């Protein structure tokens, strides 16, 4: 793949000094091998250099094949995967990460996360700590750990998570969680930055009005708000033109008044699930 003229994506320095792009490409729900491989190739071509996958997505092999075919140097790509709860516990988590490395065709990950805060996440996290010490992953962290379990993990383990990937969008801005993430030095990363279109995201009057002032869409405005507020984002699409549109957020800035208007959209609750609900735990355990 020839090197295109790429959008300059800002980076953030994680708590261990590793630089992470503020915008990456997510492959959630792209399970078909060929479709996922092509989507990652397209994402890399338009300028993405961060790819987020997971064991539970069933597409690590496709992501690895795309990276290999792209011709882009491995060190230029920030690669994330996540350990699923069925592989929690020290030994199972360690072995699962080694399998992920094999599927992805790489000798190291840039970020490895625990996907959910259930089952033996203590044992799994200690496996990640050891893999981090051994250079198998450049950073480790968690996903969907609400403030209580996040602080519990911080207080009783060696390595403070570099990242906590949470449902974060204009309707769920994570103010309480961010207070503790900031306190202990963990970067927030958004899954579902578009809220999967729920809540009228793409036609919201505030986002539309603010976007029009900059020649941008409501979707681009929603993404710009997040990165300008210090949130790493991983929007997902299989359409190349949308990939480019999602990248075209680095050439404008929202004013203070515009940021405050969008902050007013925060509902302070999940639009998908409550990880503190017993029913949610039962669903995942099942």
Task: Read off the pLDDT of residues 46-58 as tens digits, 9 standing for 90 and up.
Answer: 999 999 999 999 9
1 pLDDT above the threshold of 90? no
Range of the domain at 20: 14-285
| pLDDT tens figures, 139-196 | 999 999 999 999 999 999 999 999 999 999 999 999 999 999 999 999 999 999 999 8
In a domain, 1, yes or no: no
CA distances in angstroms from 201 to 4, 103, 143, 170, 231, listed in the order given: 31, 35, 23, 8, 18
Burial of 133 (0-12, 13-18, 19+ CB in 10 A): exposed
Q: Render pLDDT for 208-255 as a digit per residue (tens, 0 to 9).
A: 999 999 999 999 999 999 999 999 999 999 999 999 999 999 999 999
Q: Is 150 a catalytic residue?
A: no
Q: Could you give the number of structural domains in the chain?
A: 1
Instruction: State the burial class of residue 188 (Cβ atoms within 10 Å of its Cβ: 0-12, 13-18, 19+).
Output: buried
Does residue 3 lie within any of the structural domains? Answer: no
The CA distance from 283 to 251, in Å, is 42
- CATH number for position 175: 3.20.20.100
For residue 104, name the pLDDT band (cuts at 50, 70, 90). Answer: very high
Average pLDDT over residues 5-25: 93
In a domain, 2, yes or no: no
Q: Does residue 77 belong to any structural domain of this protein?
A: yes
Q: Read off the tokens for 219.
A: 């979707």
Which of 28, 48, 57, 90 does the annotation list as catalytic? 57
Q: pTM for the whole thing?
A: 0.95
Ranges of H-type helices in 203-264: 205-212, 218-228, 240-247, 256-263
Q: What's the mean pLDDT when you consider all of the chain?
A: 96
Residue 175 belongs to some domain of the structure = yes
60 within some domain? yes
């Amino acid at each position: 793949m020839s090197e295109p003229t790429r959008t300059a994506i800002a980076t953030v320095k994680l708590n261990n000094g590793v630089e992470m792009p503020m915008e990456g490409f997510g492959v959630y729900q792209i399970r078909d091998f060929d479709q996922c491989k092509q989507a990652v190739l397209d994402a890399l071509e338009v300028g993405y250099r961060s790819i987020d996958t997971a064991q539970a997505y069933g597409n690590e092999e496709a992501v690895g094949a795309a990276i290999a075919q792209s011709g882009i140097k491995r060190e230029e790509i920030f690669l994330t995967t996540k350990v699923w709860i069925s592989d929690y516990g020290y030994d199972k988590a360690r072995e699962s990460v080694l399998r992920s490395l094999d599927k992805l065709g790489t000798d190291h990950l840039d970020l490895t996360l625990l996907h959910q805060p259930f089952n033996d996440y203590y044992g799994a996290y200690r496996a990640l700590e050891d893999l981090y010490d051994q250079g198998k992953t450049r950073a480790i962290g968690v996903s969907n750990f609400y403030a209580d379990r996040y602080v519990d993990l911080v207080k009783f383990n060696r390595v403070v998570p570099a990242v906590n990937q949470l449902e974060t969008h204009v309707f769920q801005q994570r103010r309480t969680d961010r207070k503790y993430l900031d306190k202990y030095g963990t970067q927030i990363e958004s899954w579902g930055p578009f809220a999967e279109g729920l809540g009228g995201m793409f036609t919201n009057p505030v986002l539309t009005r603010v976007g029009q002032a900059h020649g941008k869409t409501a979707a681009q405005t929603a993404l710009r708000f997040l990165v300008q507020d210090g949130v790493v984002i991983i929007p997902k699409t299989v359409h190349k033109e949308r990939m480019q549109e999602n990248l075209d957020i680095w050439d404008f800035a929202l004013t203070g008044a515009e940021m405050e208007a969008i902050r007013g959209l925060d509902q302070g609750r999940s639009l998908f699930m409550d990880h503190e609900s017993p029913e949610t735990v039962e669903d995942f355990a099942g």
